[in-house]
C-alpha cells in the first residue's frame, strides 16, 4: 500500500502504510465534517506575554484562513479598543471563514462584538456565562434562575443583531447536569445556533466528557436545532483526549488553538485533533477542511509572533516530532517508513523526516545521510569516516550535516597514517605552565611522551615533535568553528616548512587542542608521502 502525499486533506483512504484492516469499521459514504473553531487569537492571546498588535493579528488571521479553519474567534472586543479595532479589521479583510468575537452576557459587550464582526462574510457573536454553582455564586453572585434569565436575554439580544449566535456554558464539566441542560434548552429556544460545552478548567476525563456530550444529546429536547461544540483546556494534559471523546459522542464543532496555546496549560491543540482524525479515520470516520500542509508554517508563525517556543517533543509540530535518533529506528525507517512513522511529515508541511545523527546511529543511517549529501564513499574510506564519526559523536550530543561533511573532508584529505593519533591530555590554566601528554601509534607500537610550551597548543606540538623527532618551522596556524553552537566542531589548519617544502595539515574535533594535534600530525604524515623514512 503506497503513500501519496498529494491526497486531499481528509479525502484520503489509505493513510497508513500499515495494514489497518483489523481496525477498520464500516465507513459511511460521506465522512462527518468536524468544524474547526480556532480561538488562537482570543483564548490563545490571553497567554501572558503573547499580546499581538493589530497587524500581527491580521497576519495570523489570513494564515488561519489559508489553513482552512471554519471559524476564527478573532478576539474579545470589549477587552480594549485596540482589540475591537483588530477584530473589525480581520472581519473586513479575511474571507472564506466565519469571524467571531466573544462577549459576556452584557449588552455593551455584545454591541462591541457586533460593531466589529458585522463586516465579516459570516459574522458570529459568541456569548458565555458560567453554569456551575462555583461560577454563578462565587464569581457572578447570581442564582441559577437568574443565570438562565440572563443567558436567554443575551442570546435574544444577540440574535436581533446577528443570525449566527454561539452560547457557551462556561465550566460545563463542573456544572449540575440537569441545570445545564435547562440552560441549553432555553438558549436554543432563544435562537442560539451553536451551543458550546467548555471544560474550562481542564477537569474532565475522556469517558466522562464523552458521556456528558452523549447525555446532553439524549436529554435536551431541541438539541438537534444546533451544532454542538466543545472547548477543552489542558490542565491535566487531556484536552485532545477529551475533545476526541466528545467527537465520538456527537460534537460537531471543536474549539482549538494552534500549538495548544491558551490560558494556564493551554487549550486543545488544533494540529493534534486534525491529524488524529486524519490518521485514525478507521475510528472516527470524520474529516475537517484543514489544509494539513499549512500546519507547520502556521505553527511557526504563531510561535514567532507570540513569542512562545514550541517544545521539541510537541506532537505534530515539535522539532523532534518527525526526527529519528536511535540507530534501530533510523535503520527501520530506511527500510520502510511505516516501521516508525504513522504520519508523513510532508502532510503537515515538514519537508522530510530528519535523522538526528548521534552516537547511537548505525552505519546504515550514516551512509544514507552521506549519500543524500552526494558522498558515495568506498568501503575503506567509509569505515574511517564512521570510526571518526563515532569518536566525535561520543563527545557531541548531535552530529549535524556540517559536522559530518567536515569529518569526510578531513578523512578524504588525509595522508597514509605513519603516526596514528591515539589520545591527548593537557594541563593548562591561568598562571600554570601548560603541559601536554600525547599518545601516538607507529606500526602498532604505542608511543607516549609529554612536553611543556607557551600555551596548550605549543605544548602539544612540542610533545608531538619529541615523539616523532620531526623538525619543522610552523608557518601558519588557523583555528575556526566549522559548525554552530557551543559544542561546535573546531577545524585546525597548520602550514609547516620541512626540508624546504611547505606542507599543510588539517584536523577537526569538538576539542580545539585535539583538532590542532590532529592537524599537526596530518602535516607530519603528509611529509612521508614523498619522503619515506
CA–CA distance, 187 with 128 (Å, rounded to integer):
11
Q: Which region, judged by CB under 5 A, interacts with Zn ion, from 35-43, 73-81, 241-249, 435-443?
A: 35-43
Binding status of residue 43 toward ligand KIV by CB under 6 A: yes
Give the number of residues in contact with ligand KIV, rule: CB under 6 A: 10
CB 231, min distance to ligand KIV, A? 5
Q: Which of 63, 132, 158, 168 binds ligand KIV (CB under 6 A)?
A: 168
Cβ distance to ligand KIV smaller for residue 192 or 513: 192
Chain positions 177 to 236 lying near ligand KIV, rule: CB under 6 A, are 196, 198, 200, 231, 233
DSSP code string of 201-222: TS---HHHHHHHHHHHHHH-TT
Chain positions 275 to 314 lying near ligand KIV, rule: CB under 6 A, are none
**Sign of the CA dihedral running 202, 208, 211, 217:** negative
- Closest by CA to 71, choosing from 98, 91, 90, is 98
CB 135, min distance to Zn ion, A? 13
Question: Contact at 8 Å (CB) between 492 and 510?
Answer: no
Binding status of residue 40 toward ligand KIV by CB under 6 A: no
CB 101, min distance to ligand KIV, A? 12
Cβ distance to ligand KIV smaller for residue 240 or 525: 240
Question: Contact at 8 Å (CB) between 308 and 51?
Answer: no
Q: Which does 128 bind (CB under 5 to 8 A by kind): Zn ion, ligand KIV, none?
A: ligand KIV
DSSP code string of 122-173: EEEEEEEEE-SHIIIIIIS---HHHHHHHHHHHHHHHHHH-S-EEEEEETGG
Binding status of residue 170 toward ligand KIV by CB under 6 A: yes
Give the number of residues in contact with Zn ion, rule: CB under 5 A: 1
Q: Which region, judged by CB under 5 A, interacts with Zn ion, from 11-19, 41-49, 86-94, 405-413?
A: 41-49
CB 46, min distance to ligand KIV, A? 8
Chain positions 77 to 136 lying near ligand KIV, rule: CB under 6 A, are 102, 128
Q: Which does 506 bind (CB under 5 to 8 A by kind): ligand KIV, Zn ion, none?
A: none
Q: Which does 170 bind (CB under 5 to 8 A by kind): Zn ion, ligand KIV, none?
A: ligand KIV
- 245 exposure class (CB count in 10 Å sphere: 0-12, 13-18, 19+): buried
CA distances to 97, 120, 391, 449 from 443, in Å: 75, 81, 21, 17
Cβ distance to ligand KIV smaller for residue 234 or 460: 234
CB 233, min distance to Zn ion, A? 6
Cβ distance to ligand KIV smaller for residue 148 or 489: 148
CA distances to 18, 321, 514 from 341, in Å: 10, 10, 39
Pairing type for strands 253-256 and 227-232 reads parallel
The C-alpha cell at 182 is: 435547562
CA–CA distance, 42 with 56 (Å, rounded to integer):
13
User: Using CB atoms, what's the residue nearest to Zn ion?
Assistant: 43
DSSP code string of 19-66: --TTT--PPPSSPEEPEEEE-TTTTGGGSTT----HHHHHHHHHHHHH
Cβ distance to Zn ion smaller for residue 47 or 459: 47
- 360 exposure class (CB count in 10 Å sphere: 0-12, 13-18, 19+): middle
Cβ distance to Zn ion smaller for residue 233 or 384: 233
Calculate the CA 94 to chain-centre distance.
Answer: 26
CB 308, min distance to ligand KIV, A? 18
CA–CA distance, 367 with 365 (Å, rounded to integer):
5
Question: Contact at 8 Å (CB) between 249 and 236?
Answer: no
Cβ distance to ligand KIV smaller for residue 260 or 434: 260
Question: Contact at 8 Å (CB) between 201 and 233?
Answer: yes
CB 168, min distance to Zn ion, A? 9
CA–CA distance, 119 with 454 (Å, rounded to integer):
76
Question: Contact at 8 Å (CB) between 256 and 270?
Answer: yes
Q: Which does 168 bind (CB under 5 to 8 A by kind): ligand KIV, Zn ion, none?
A: ligand KIV
Binding status of residue 170 toward Zn ion by CB under 5 A: no
DSSP assigned state of 8: P
Binding status of residue 73 toward Zn ion by CB under 5 A: no
**What are the respective helix, strand and coil percentages of the chain, to the nearest 5?**
45, 20, 35
Binding status of residue 70 toward ligand KIV by CB under 6 A: no
Cβ distance to ligand KIV smaller for residue 57 or 233: 233
Binding status of residue 43 toward Zn ion by CB under 5 A: yes
Cβ distance to ligand KIV smaller for residue 103 or 440: 103
Q: Which does 257 bind (CB under 5 to 8 A by kind): ligand KIV, Zn ion, none?
A: none
Cβ distance to Zn ion smaller for residue 140 or 390: 140
**Binding region for ligand KIV (CB under 6 A):** 43, 102, 128, 168, 170, 196, 198, 200, 231, 233
**Binding region for Zn ion (CB under 5 A):** 43
Amino acid at each position: 500500500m503506497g503513500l501519496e502525499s498529494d491526497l486531499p486533506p481528509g479525502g484520503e483512504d489509505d493513510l497508513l502504510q500499515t495494514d489497518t484492516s483489523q481496525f477498520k469499521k464500516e465507513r459511511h459514504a460521506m465522512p462527518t465534517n468536524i468544524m474547526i473553531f480556532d480561538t488562537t487569537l482570543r483564548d490563545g492571546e490571553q497567554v501572558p506575554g503573547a499580546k499581538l498588535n493589530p497587524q500581527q493579528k491580521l497576519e495570523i488571521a489570513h494564515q488561519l484562513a489559508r489553513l482552512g479553519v471554519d471559524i476564527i474567534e478573532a478576539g474579545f472586543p470589549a477587552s480594549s479598543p485596540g482589540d475591537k479595532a483588530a477584530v473589525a479589521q480581520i472581519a473586513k479583510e479575511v474571507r472564506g471563514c466565519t469571524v467571531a468575537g466573544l462577549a459576556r452576557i452584557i449588552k455593551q459587550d455584545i454591541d462591541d462584538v457586533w460593531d466589529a464582526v458585522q463586516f465579516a462574510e459570516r459574522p458570529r457573536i459568541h456569548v458565555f456565562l458560567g453554569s456551575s454553582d462555583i461560577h454563578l455564586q462565587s464569581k457572578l453572585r447570581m442564582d441559577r434562575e437568574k443565570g438562565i434569565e440572563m443567558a436567554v436575554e443575551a442570546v435574544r439580544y444577540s440574535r436581533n443583531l446577528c443570525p449566527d449566535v454561539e452560547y457557551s456554558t462556561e465550566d460545563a464539566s463542573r456544572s449540575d447536569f440537569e441545570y445545564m441542560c435547562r440552560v441549553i434548552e432555553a438558549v436554543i429556544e432563544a435562537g442560539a445556533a451553536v451551543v458550546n460545552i467548555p471544560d474550562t478548567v481542564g477537569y474532565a476525563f475522556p469517558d466522562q466528557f464523552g458521556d456528558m456530550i452523549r447525555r446532553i444529546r439524549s436529554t435536551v429536547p431541541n438539541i438537534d436545532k444546533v451544532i454542538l461544540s466543545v472547548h477543552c483546556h489542558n490542565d491535566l494534559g487531556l484536552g485532545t483526549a477529551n475533545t476526541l471523546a466528545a467527537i465520538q459522542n456527537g460534537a460537531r464543532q471543536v474549539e482549538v488553538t494552534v500549538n495548544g496555546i491558551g490560558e494556564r496549560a493551554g487549550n486543545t491543540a488544533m494540529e493534534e485533533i486534525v491529524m488524529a482524525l486524519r490518521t485514525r479515520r478507521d475510528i472516527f470516520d470524520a474529516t475537517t477542511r484543514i489544509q494539513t500542509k499549512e500546519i507547520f508554517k502556521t505553527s511557526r508563525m504563531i510561535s514567532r509572533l507570540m513569542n512562545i517556543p514550541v517544545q521539541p517533543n510537541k506532537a505534530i509540530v515539535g522539532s523532534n516530532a518527525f526526527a529519528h535518533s536511535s540507530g534501530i529506528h533510523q535503520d527501520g525507517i530506511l527500510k520502510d517508513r511505516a516501521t516508525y512513522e504513522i504520519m508523513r511529515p510532508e502532510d503537515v508541511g515538514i519537508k522530510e523526516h530528519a535523522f538526528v545523527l548521534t552516537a547511537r546511529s548505525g552505519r546504515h543511517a550514516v551512509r544514507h545521510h552521506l549519500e543524500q549529501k552526494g558522498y558515495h564513499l568506498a568501503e575503506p574510506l567509509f569505515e574511517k569516516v564512521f570510526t571518526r564519526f563515532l569518536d566525535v559523536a561520543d563527545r557531541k550530543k548531535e552530529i549535524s550535516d556540517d559536522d559530518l561533511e567536515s569529518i569526510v573532508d578531513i578523512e578524504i584529505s588525509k595522508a597514509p597514517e605513519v603516526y596514528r593519533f591515539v589520545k591527548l591530555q593537557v594541563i593548562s590554566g591561568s598562571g600554570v605552565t601548560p603541559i601536554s601528554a600525547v599518545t601516538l601509534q607507529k606500526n602498532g607500537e604505542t608511543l607516549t611522551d609529554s612536553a611543556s610550551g607557551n600555551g596548550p597548543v605549543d605544548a602539544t606540538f612540542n610533545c608531538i615533535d619529541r615523539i616523532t623527532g620531526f623538525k619543522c618551522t610552523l608557518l601558519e596556524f588557523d583555528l575556526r568553528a566549522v559548525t554552530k553552537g557551543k559544542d561546535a566542531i573546531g577545524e585546525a589548519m597548520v602550514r609547516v616548512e620541512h626540508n624546504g617544502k611547505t606542507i599543510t595539515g588539517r584536523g577537526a574535533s569538538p576539542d580545539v587542542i585535539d583538532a590542532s594535534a590532529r592537524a599537526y600530525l596530518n602535516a607530519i604524515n603528509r611529509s612521508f608521502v614523498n619522503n619515506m623514512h
